[in-house]
Amino acid sequence: MIFPNFSVEQAHGGVVAGVDEAGRGPWAGDVTASAVILDPKNIPAGLNDSKKLTAAKREALYAEIMANAKVGVGVASAEEIDELNILEATKLAMQRAIAALGVLPDLALIDGNKAPNLLCPAQTIIGGDAKSLSIAAASIIAKVTRDKVMSELAKIHPEYGWERNAGYGTKHHQEALAKYGITAHHRKSYKPIKAIIDNE
């Protein structure tokens, strides 16, 4: 297995933030972005793409990153996703994450191939969460943060199983939508949700 490394950050030499998001695909909830500036002398061991880690490992690394790195988190709401579209809402969340760092990095490494307009230079890296330690750290923060929010929302709307499916269109979620309809947290521009609205 190939693990992410710190080579891009080291080659740049300045203050480098990794940026990633969680929640582009779900039918409900915010899209969450994180920006992380790692301390080169104190990088948590075992950083990897959040999708390749167990929930327990993500939680443990989340705590380590929060304790040892500069972290910013930004979200764009379901309403903003509907208004802007998911790509533009993701960029907005990334802008907010960089702003939340409290320090402007010399370079932002963005997971993917579409960079938001930032106040600092940005470099996109396709599959960056599997290549750059800073982006991997950001992917963990974004994923854990969003999962916690969806678990809290699940207490208000327990029918949809968001504490398990994080708002993705699982069979359980689809069945609950058919039975109970949509909530204010559903993304009304997404085809399956739009279909329900159109049929009502």
Indicate whether 1 pLDDT > 70: no
Residues 6 or more apart whose Cβ sits within 8 Å of residue 78: 28, 29, 30, 184, 185, 186, 187, 188
* Alpha helix (H) residue ranges in 13-156: 55-68, 78-84, 86-100, 133-156
Q: Quick one: pLDDT at residue 120?
A: 95
Per-residue pLDDT tens digits for 31-45: 999 999 999 999 999
Interatomic CA distance for residues 67 and 63, integer angstroms: 6
For 72-106, the pLDDT digits (tens) are: 999 999 999 999 999 999 999 999 999 999 999 99
C-alpha distances out from residue 13 to 8, 10, 16, 113, 146, Å: 9, 5, 8, 22, 31
Q: For 123, how many CA atoms within 13 A lie in the half-sphere containing its CB?
A: 16
CB 132 within 8 A of CB 109: yes
Please give the structure tokens belonging to residue 69.
Answer: 């790195």
Q: Which residue has the tokens 């443990």?
A: 60
Which domains are delineated in the chain?
7-148 (3.30.420.10)
Summary mean pLDDT of the chain: 96
129 in Cβ contact with 120 (< 8 Å): no
Indicate the pTM of the whole model. 0.96
Residue whose C-alpha is closest to residue 156's, from 56, 28, 32:
28
pLDDT of residue 200: 74
Q: Can you name the residues that pair with 108 across neighbouring β-strands? A: 17, 122
The answer to whether the CB of 169 falls within 8 A of the CB of 186 is: no
Helical axes 55-68 vs 133-156, angle rounded to 10°: 110
* pLDDT per position as a tens digit, 92-142: 999 999 999 999 999 999 999 999 999 999 999 999 999 999 999 999 999
